Amino acid sequence: MLGLNKKDTSLLIIVAILTLLAPFILNPFPEGSAMAQFNAGYPDLMQRFVIFGIFAIGFNILFGLTGYLSFGHAAFLGVGSYSAVWMFKLLSYNVIPAIALSVVVAGLFSLLIGFVSLRRSGIYFSILTLAFAQMSFALAYSVLSNPKFNLTNGETGLQVYADDPQILQGANAPDLPHLFGLPMRATYTMDVGAWSFDFNAGYYLCAVIMMAVFYLAIRIFRSPFGMMLRAVKSNQQRMNYTGLNSKPYTLAAFVISGMYAGLAGGLMAAMDPLAGAERMQWTASGEVVLMTILGGTGTLIGPVLGAGFIKYFENIFSKINDNVLHSWFAFLPDGLEDAVVFLIHPFIGKGWHLTLGILFMLVVIYLPGGLVEGGQRLLNRFKRRKTGTDDAPSGKTEPAE
Give pLDDT tens digits for 43-69: 999 999 999 999 999 999 999 999 999
pLDDT on residue 1:
67
Q: For residue 303, which amino acid is it? A: P
Q: What per-residue confidence (pLDDT) applies to 224?
A: 93
The yes-or-no verdict on residue 308 having pLDDT over 60 is yes
Q: Kindly report the CA angle at 335 between 330 and 339, in degrees rounded to 5? A: 85
Q: How far apart are CA 258 and CA 256, in angstroms?
A: 5
CA distances from 200 to 84, 100, 130, 207, 257 (A): 20, 22, 36, 11, 27
> Considering the entire predicted model, what is its pTM?
0.91
Distances (CA, A) of 7 to 13, 95, 109, 375: 10, 34, 35, 16
Residue 4: its pLDDT value, please?
87
| Nearest alpha carbon to residue 165 among 92, 269, 112 | 92
pLDDT of 391 > 80? The answer is no
Give the pLDDT score at 400: 47
Residue among 103, 102, 84 nearest 160 (CA)? 84
Q: Confirm whether 353 is domain-assigned.
A: no
The pLDDT-based confidence of 397 (bands split at 50, 70, 90) is: very low
pLDDT digits (tens, 9 = 90+) for 238-274: 888 888 888 999 999 999 999 999 999 999 999 999 9
H or E element: which one contains 137? helix 122-141
pLDDT at position 31 over 60: yes
pLDDT, tens digit (0-9, with 9 covering 90-100), for 273-306: 999 988 898 888 989 999 999 999 989 999 999 9
Q: What is the CATH number of the domain that holds 159?
A: 1.10.3470
Question: Domain for residue 53, yes or no?
Answer: yes
Which range, 103-112, 172-181, 341-350, has the best average confidence (pLDDT)?
103-112
pLDDT band at 398 (very low <50, low <70, confident <90, very high): very low
Once rounded to an integer, what is the mean pLDDT over residues 356-380?
87
d(CA 81, CA 266): 5
- 3-state secondary structure (DSSP) of residue 265: helix
Q: Which domain holds residue 99?
A: 6-33+41-282
Strands (E), 219-324: 274-275
- Euclidean distance between CA atoms 40 and 27, whole angstroms: 6
Residue 389: pLDDT band with limits 50, 70, 90: low
> How far is residue 299 from each of residues 249, 305, 373, 398, measured CA to CA in Å?
19, 11, 10, 12
Distance CA 9, CA 15 (A): 10
Q: Which residues lie below 8 Å from residue 307, measured CB to CB, with a gap of 6+?
A: 49, 52, 53, 55, 56, 288, 291, 295
Question: CA torsion sign, 376 to 66 to 135 to 142?
Answer: negative
User: Is 339 within 8 Å of 269 (Cβ atoms)?
Assistant: no
Question: What total number of domains does the chain contain?
Answer: 1
How high is the mean pLDDT of the chain? Answer: 89
| DSSP code, position 189 | E
Distance CA 338, CA 343 (A): 9
Residue 399 pLDDT class (50, 70, 90 cuts): very low
Q: What percent of the chain lies above the pLDDT cut of 70?
A: 96
Helix (H, G, I), strand (E, B) or coil at 94: strand
Q: DSSP state, 401?
A: -
- Residues contacting 121, CB < 8 A, separation 6+: 68, 236
Give the contacts of 315 (CB within 8 A, at least 6 positions apart).
Answer: 40, 45, 48
Please answer whether residues 90 and 161 qualify as being in contact, where contact means their C-beta atoms are separated by less than 8 angstroms: no
Work out the pLDDT band at 187, boundaries 50, 70, 90: very high
Q: Where are the beta strands (DSSP E) in 251-345?
A: 274-275
